[in-house]
Amino acid sequence: MLNIELNIDPIFDFISKEEVNELSRNVAEAHKALVNGSGRGNEYTGWLTLPTDFDKAVISSIIDDANYIGSNSEIMVVVGIGGSYLGARAVIEALSHHFPILMKSRKAPLIVYAGHNISEDYLSDLLDVLNEKDYSLAVISKSGTTTEPAIAFRVLKKHLESKYGKSEAARRIFAITDKSKGALKKLADEEGYKTYVVPDNIGGRYSVLTPVGLLPIAIAGFDIDQLIKGAQAAQQQLLNTASFDENPAALYAAARNALYRNGKTTEILVNYLPSLNYFTEWWKQLYGESEGKENKGIFPAGVGFTTDLHSMGQYIQEGLRNIFETALLVKDVRRELKIPLSDNDLDGLNYIAGKRMQEVNEMAEVGTMLAHLEGGVPNMTIKIPVLNEYHLGELIYFFELACAISGYILKVNPFDQPGVEAYKNNMFALLGKPGFEKQTSEIKKRIGK
């Protein structure tokens, strides 16, 4: 049985149950198209059965490599952008100590990231650290030519070879790329890098349960077997039926689209644990890149409460009423800390002395939802028992399937991203890339140069 509790009841202050139930046929058709492989973008739906299809030999190889890297590296640099790093980072940060860089007792390598921006200062600062630490490198790119990670890899490869020599550097570089083609695959074969495959039938934002996510997660010291088992449990339940009673992913997709049809065009994913901030970033990419097409789609935003109640809280309470919230909640936390009693009670907090901080956080969850409902913001909640690998595996699959169903309800292809190329083409032209001469001339006229 799936360990995800979805509660959509609070939205019925704003829309009727019939408006959600009316989408049951759309959801069933979308679910059937996914299962049968008959929908748009079906060539990229390998993630649907990936948890139960996964090659156990690949898992064993990843675990062996994680142990090898852990034996010779204090730091692992993950080079990638978008889905090539967000899924791994979401899981790693959800499960990690909040201050891993300061923990002397850390057993696994510290995971750091590159290739997700083009900041000269960021990469230079990273090199300062790598000058003083033993490290290895995982570069994740299907083509090997995506600008941001390609630049970072070029710089870091040179640094690694200068520090360790070419042969030792090759043993410290792991390439996750296409199985047979592309610049990175060619380089990996020439240089002798250990490689893992990005499956042809899985796009980047759905790739966290492939070696794209599993290798960094394993290197960080987490149990990828449990992550996959959680996803397997979700797959086995959620692919079996589109019934709202048994498939919370289907119900979530229907509820958010019913709200969208009633003018709620922005969904805010809310979390109450800082460790979930990057899970929100992964969710934003998954839904933004999957749904935002053909001038349609729910805009995915994210906040971390209670922190953002002191910044974005004002807008959510009283701003434009085109928003709804989905709160991602965790029943129990890993640590216990009680609020102490004060002799003078100058801060007036003795009324909660002896309570766990988690209890206060839970009351903040309830109080915030009530306030936002009264302010005209529909709310849903998605709750898991605890943050661990198994439940994160369930949650990842839940959101992936709901996203695909939602995309089909919107009648878009949830597995492509044609709009991403627009900025790239402009950037290439401005940088003078061969073959872009015409665009270069046109852009310079537009910007007055």
Q: What residues are annotated to the active site?
A: 289, 310, 424
Number of H helices, E strands in the chain: 18, 10
First to last CA, the chain: 62
Strand, coil or helix: 103: coil
Comparing CA positions, the residue from 84, 137, 141 lying closest to residue 112 is: 137
Strand, coil or helix: 113: strand
The position carrying tokens 């790739």 is: 207
As a whole number of angstroms, the distance between CA 90 and CA 292 comes to 22
As a whole number of angstroms, the distance between CA 229 and CA 32 comes to 24
Query: What letter represents residue 402's amino acid?
Result: A
Sheet of 110-114: strand order equals: 110-114, 75-79, 135-140, 173-177, 194-197
Provide the pairing of β-strand 110-114 with 75-79: parallel
DSSP string, 388-409: SHHHHHHHHHHHHHHHHHHHHH
As a whole number of angstroms, the distance between CA 330 and CA 395 comes to 11
As a whole number of angstroms, the distance between CA 449 and CA 431 comes to 14
DSSP string, 418-436: GGGHHHHHHHHHHHT-TT-
Half-sphere exposure (CA, 13 Å, Cβ side) for 177? 26
Q: Which helix (H) or strand (E) holds 371?
A: helix 357-374
Distance of CA 436 to the CA centre of its chain: 33
- Neighbouring C-beta atoms of residue 374, cutoff 10 Å: 10
DSSP single-letter state for residue 16: -
Beta carbons of 174 and 111 less than 8 angstroms apart: no
